[in-house]
């Protein structure tokens, strides 16, 4: 198991490095960083000054090399835009995003899995139709629109919840619902399909025949098998939530990492983007890794392969 | 599951009821939203409009320009005098203290000027400070600023972006410390900074008797809310009192509601076309022919673009500057909208069937598309390209672009040099490269005699218009929306002035 984990981690590191290299060059392709940093009102002198200050006149590989060297020693440099250490900036923004991501995926799992199970238990029943309706609506509704509707209802009309900000846990309820609802349909459909397949299999019939209770059949025998692809999907969804909650963070004015990444790209804030790309790819890799481990625990057959 | 959700909701209601911070005059706190994340509160280290807003509230310059009359008056200086073309002497105001208690005197001016004038210290907008060489202390309350070369617009810059920092504090904390805990002399002091997200200003109770006047509102709470719809929701909720840079359709809707007032005010930003008169993009560029450039000017109906798209207090611009700027002569050759004349001019220039050209823009896609379709209508077929600002600027500086829809805000500097200097003095954005024009502008930019300046700007602007080197079209505007409880009159320079706001 240990050599397997080490190999996986080594591979993960290489993947992260490749991602960061590609993103570095892509950023340069999108326009001269000095011009972007200087902003719309800049004169040619401003741009020349910035070029000299940040060393943009050096060859690209040298610039990437020096960034990489510093990053490996834990120094992500200083944000061009905020003029503060990237690590401090990330610590601040990532905490918001992580909290939101954990809440979002929990919300999605806690609603989608029970609904999926219920739908599979009574296929084509009213509850199945309701679940189908929920998932179709969830897939079809853009999250910016859903977010605004929630704000209109819960913040303006009912005045129950704050519309934006991150100063108390109440601020996280609406964003959690929006983010979680977006991830929910896929999880629910996968749970339903998995459950349907498993429930019609022979060993479930055997379990029922030997007199196991319905609850035991459902959760011990069926769900444990049906949930394996869901775990992998949830891991990917979680990675997506951390890096891609841009819209939700923007609407609810949560200053998180996803929004920071988006803004930093348009501001050509290279050190920040580079650090974020590295961290996001690490997250993706870690989550899929954790999902594999979890699946191996759920399904003993996977441990041997 | 359901009961848990219900409980959560109930708890949320209880919580929000107890902590809801309603913005109203009872708490004497004005809640304002910024759309963009401000990079640094240190005014020399950002180039954002949000930065200017905070700069005007927290710091003072030596001089002050009345935003209504455009007259210059003393601020931290009580009087000033040009000793010669390269030296200005200031008598400083006595008894002023910074927010941290440090006394204001000549040392602060000398330190600030010497610090910002040194390019190594990384002031973001070098143009604001690069004209200064150094400062010299004569006595505690007399100081001289030495210029690198004659620069009459110095007064405008000293009344605008150049603010005075406390020498001891700035030497100790530097720009990064100033960004987290700003200290100035202004009518508001900063009590809380969460970089890019949240700023709280508090009234400076010991503000000196300066031209900005005492602040009326005790606290200003600024939050960054990127989405305009969320900003509107917070306005409805009563958790915001003032938003600005509101898109025209939203401002219109809010303005119709009884609890809000929407005010439209012009800005100094001008939209114009740059035509490749020098043939940088192509040696045989049709735009090298003055008749083709004039045809473009005749082809575009700026008034219709203003009426249909920009609306508000935008105006049609005929001369290559913003009308309030010193030296902006608006009595120049104008090109009325006349597609037939445009076609005739094209035919005369040897393009009876028109030609095809690349068309570039970086913002306001709707305006840009309107402009390009006006060109299409007279036979100049445009291939429409929308690029990011940095990419377009790169392209025009290196290989040139034939038609470029650009805008320029002059950094709110009320002097024609801030406009023409960028485009006609052989800089990387100069698509014209006319030595006569450059020399005329050089005289206008550097003479200390206002008459000579006016005369030469007029000459230069007439030359630009006669040659249709630039096709100015319209000025921009912006919308401010605030509650009926707030009293505020926006100014045409697009700077929010908290010190002039009060409760109704």
Whether the Cβ atoms of residue A253 and residue B234 lie closer than 8 Å to each other: no
Over 80: is that where the pLDDT of B14 sits?
Answer: no
| Strand-pair category, B380-386 with B355-361 | parallel
Q: Is A268 on the interface with B (CB under 8 A)?
A: yes
B47 and A38 within 8 Å at the Cβ level: the answer is yes
* Residue closest to B434 by CA, chosen among B448, B423, B445: B423
| Chain B residues in contact with A148 (beta carbon < 8 A) | 229-230, 233
How many Cβ atoms from other residues are within 10 Å of residue A170's Cβ? 20
For residue B34, list its beta bridge partners: B224
| Chain B residues in contact with A31 (beta carbon < 8 A) | 387-391, 393-394
Over 60: is that where the pLDDT of B2 sits?
Answer: no
More confident residue, A73 or A107: A107
Residue A151: strand, helix, or coil: helix
pLDDT in tens, B196-205: 889 999 999 9
- pLDDT band at A137, cuts 50/70/90? confident
Residue B103: strand, helix, or coil: strand
DSSP B43: G
> Average pLDDT of A110-135?
89
Most A CBs within 10 A among B12, B181, B243, B268, hence the mutation to make, goes to: B12
A160 and B397 within 8 Å at the Cβ level: the answer is no
Over 80: is that where the pLDDT of A32 sits?
Answer: no
Q: Is A29 on the interface with B (CB under 8 A)?
A: no
d(CA B356, CA B382): 6
Supply the pTM of this predicted model.
Answer: 0.81
Q: Which residue of A has its CA nearest to B421?
A: A43
Most B CBs within 10 A among A33, A34, A40, hence the mutation to make, goes to: A40
Give the pair of three-digit tokens for residue A196: 């349907």
pLDDT in tens, B83-100: 999 999 999 999 999 999
For A146-265, strand residue ranges (E) read none
Whether the Cβ atoms of residue B83 and residue B90 lie closer than 8 Å to each other: no
* Residue closest to A33 by CA, chosen among A269, A248, A279: A269
Q: Which residue of B has its CA nearest to A266?
A: B388
Sequence-separated (6 or more) residues with CB below 8 Å from residue A249: A96, A97, A100, A175, A255, A256, A258, A259
pLDDT of residue A302: 67
Distances (CA, A) of A13 to A10, A20, A72, B266: 5, 11, 11, 53
B504, HSE (Cβ side, Cα atoms, 13 Å): 12
- pLDDT band at A164, cuts 50/70/90? confident
What is the interface size between A and B, counted as CB pairs within 8 Å?
A: 137
d(CA B283, CA B286): 9
Q: At what angle do helices A143-150 and A173-199 cross, to 10 degrees?
A: 120
pLDDT of residue B24: 65
For residue B221, list its beta bridge partners: B31, B200
| Residues 172-191 (A) with a CB less than 8 A from some CB of B | 173
| Chain A residues in contact with B1 (beta carbon < 8 A) | 110-111, 114
| Chain B residues in contact with A89 (beta carbon < 8 A) | 195
Q: Is A42 on the interface with B (CB under 8 A)?
A: yes
Question: Who among A49, A161, A164 is closest to B230 (CB)?
Answer: A164
d(CA B160, CA B128): 9
ipTM comes to: 0.79
| Chain A residues in contact with B195 (beta carbon < 8 A) | 82, 84, 89
| Chain A residues in contact with B390 (beta carbon < 8 A) | 30-33, 35-36, 268
| Chain A residues in contact with B428 (beta carbon < 8 A) | 44
Q: At what angle do helices A228-244 and A257-266 cross, to 10 degrees?
A: 50
A151 and B126 within 8 Å at the Cβ level: the answer is no
Q: Which residue of B has its CA nearest to A177?
A: B5
A42 and B179 within 8 Å at the Cβ level: the answer is no
| Chain B residues in contact with A53 (beta carbon < 8 A) | 122
Average model confidence (pLDDT) across chain A:
84
A35 and B196 within 8 Å at the Cβ level: the answer is no
pLDDT in tens, A181-239: 888 888 998 999 988 888 888 888 888 888 878 888 888 788 888 888 888 888 888 88
A168 and B45 within 8 Å at the Cβ level: the answer is no
B47 and A164 within 8 Å at the Cβ level: the answer is no
* Residue closest to A205 by CA, chosen among A223, A186, A221: A221
Query: In angstroms, what separates the C-alpha of A68 from chain B's closest C-alpha?
Result: 25
Over 50: is that where the pLDDT of B15 sits?
Answer: no
For B289-420, strand residue ranges (E) read 355-361, 380-386, 403-408
| Residues 136-155 (A) with a CB less than 8 A from some CB of B | 144, 148, 151-152, 155
| Chain B residues in contact with A33 (beta carbon < 8 A) | 390
d(CA A276, CA B354): 50
B360, HSE (Cβ side, Cα atoms, 13 Å): 21
The percentage of chain B sitting over the pLDDT mark of 90, rounded to a whole number, equals 71
DSSP B47: -
Q: Which residue of B has its CA nearest to A159?
A: B237
Over 60: is that where the pLDDT of B8 sits?
Answer: no
pLDDT of residue A244: 65
Over 60: is that where the pLDDT of B247 sits?
Answer: yes
Whether the Cβ atoms of residue A44 and residue B427 lie closer than 8 Å to each other: yes
Whether the Cβ atoms of residue B141 and residue B437 lie closer than 8 Å to each other: no
């Amino acid at each position: 198991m240990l050599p397997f984990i080490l190999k996986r981690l080594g591979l993960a590191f290489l993947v992260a490095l490749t991602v960061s290299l590609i993103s570095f060059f892509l950023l340069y392709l999108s326009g001269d960083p000095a011009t972007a940093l200087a902003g719309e009102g800049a004169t040619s002198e401003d741009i020349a000054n910035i070029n000299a200050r940040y060393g943009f006149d050096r060859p690209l590989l040298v610039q990437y090399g020096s960034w990489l060297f510093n990053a490996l020693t834990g120094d992500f440099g200083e944000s061009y835009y905020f003029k503060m250490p990237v690590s401090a900036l990330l610590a601040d923004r990532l905490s918001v995003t992580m909290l939101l991501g954990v809440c979002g995926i929990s919300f999605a799992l806690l609603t989608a899995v029970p609904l999926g199970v219920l739908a599979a238990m009574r296929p084509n029943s009213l509850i199945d139709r309701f679940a189908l309706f929920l998932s179709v609506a969830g897939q079809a509704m853009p999250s910016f629109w859903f977010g605004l509707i929630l704000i209109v209802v819960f913040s303006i009309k009912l005045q129950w919840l704050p519309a934006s900000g991150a100063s108390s846990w109440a601020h996280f309820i609406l964003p959690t619902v929006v983010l979680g609802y977006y991830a929910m349909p896929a999880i629910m459909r996968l749970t339903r399909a998995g459950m349907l397949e498993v429930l019609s299999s022979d060993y479930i019939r055997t379990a029922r025949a030997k007199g196991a209770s319905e609850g035991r059949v459902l959760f011990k025998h069926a769900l444990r098998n049906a949930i394996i692809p869901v775990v992998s999907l949830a891991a990917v969804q979680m990675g997506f939530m951390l890096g891609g909650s841009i819209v939700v963070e923007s609407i609810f004015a949560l200053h998180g990492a996803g929004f920071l990444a988006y803004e930093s790209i348009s501001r050509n804030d290279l050190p920040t983007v580079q650090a974020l790309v590295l961290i996001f790819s690490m997250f993706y890799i870690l989550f899929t890794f954790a999902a594999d481990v979890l699946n191996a625990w759920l399904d003993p057959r996977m441990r041997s392969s | 599951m359901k009961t848990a959700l219900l409980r959560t909701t109930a708890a949320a209601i209880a919580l929000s009821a107890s902590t809801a911070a309603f913005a109203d005059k009872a708490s004497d706190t004005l809640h304002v939203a910024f759309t963009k994340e401000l990079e640094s509160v240190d005014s020399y280290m950002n180039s954002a409009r949000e930065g200017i807003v905070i700069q005007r509230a927290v710091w003072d310059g030596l001089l002050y320009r009345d935003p209504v009359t455009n007259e210059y008056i003393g601020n931290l200086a009580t009087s000033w005098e040009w000793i010669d073309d390269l030296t200005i002497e200031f008598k400083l105001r006595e008894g002023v203290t910074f927010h941290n208690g440090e006394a204001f005197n000549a040392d602060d001016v000398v330190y600030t000027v010497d610090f910002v004038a040194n390019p190594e210290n990384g002031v973001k907008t070098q143009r604001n400070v690069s004209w200064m060489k150094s400062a010299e202390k004569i006595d505690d309350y007399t100081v001289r600023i030495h210029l690198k070369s004659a620069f009459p617009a110095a007064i405008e810059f000293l009344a605008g972006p150049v603010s005075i920092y406390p020498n001891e504090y700035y030497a100790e904390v530097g720009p990064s410390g100033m960004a987290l805990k700003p200290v100035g002399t202004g009518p508001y002091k900063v009590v809380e900074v969460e970089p890019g997200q949240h700023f709280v200003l508090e009234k400076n109770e010991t503000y000196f008797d300066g031209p900005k006047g005492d602040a009326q509102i005790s606290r200003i709470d600024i939050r960054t809310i990127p989405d305009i719809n969320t900003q509107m929701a917070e306005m409805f909720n009563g958790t915001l009192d003032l938003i600005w840079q509101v898109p025209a359709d939203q401002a219109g809707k809010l303005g119709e509601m009884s609890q809000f007032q929407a005010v439209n005010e012009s800005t100094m930003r001008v939209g114009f076309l740059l035509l490749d008169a020098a043939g940088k993009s192509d040696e045989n560029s049709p735009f090298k022919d003055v008749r083709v450039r004039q045809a473009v000017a005749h082809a575009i109906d700026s008034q219709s673009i203003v009426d249909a798209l920009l609306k508000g207090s935008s105006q049609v611009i005929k001369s290559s500057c913003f009308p309030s700027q010193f030296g902006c002569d608006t009595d120049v050759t104008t090109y009325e909208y006349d597609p037939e004349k445009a076609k005739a001019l094209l035919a005369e220039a040897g393009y009876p069937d028109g030609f095809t050209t690349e068309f570039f823009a970086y913002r306001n896609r709707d305006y840009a598309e309107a402009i390009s379709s006006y060109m299409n209508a007279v036979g100049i077929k445009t291939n429409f390209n929308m690029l990011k600002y940095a990419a377009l600027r790169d392209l025009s500086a290196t290989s040139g672009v034939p038609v470029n829809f650009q805008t320029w805000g002059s950094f709110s500097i009320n002097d024609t040099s801030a406009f023409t200097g960028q485009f006609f003095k052989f800089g990387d954005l100069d698509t014209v490269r006319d030595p006569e024009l450059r020399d005329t502008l050089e005289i206008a930019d550097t003479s200390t005699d206002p008459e000579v300046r006016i005369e030469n700007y007029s000459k230069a602007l007439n030359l630009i218009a006669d040659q249709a080197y630039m096709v100015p079209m319209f000025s921009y505007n912006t919308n401010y929306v605030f509650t009926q409880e707030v009293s505020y009159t926006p100014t045409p320079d697009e700077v929010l002035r908290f010190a002039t706001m009060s409760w109704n």
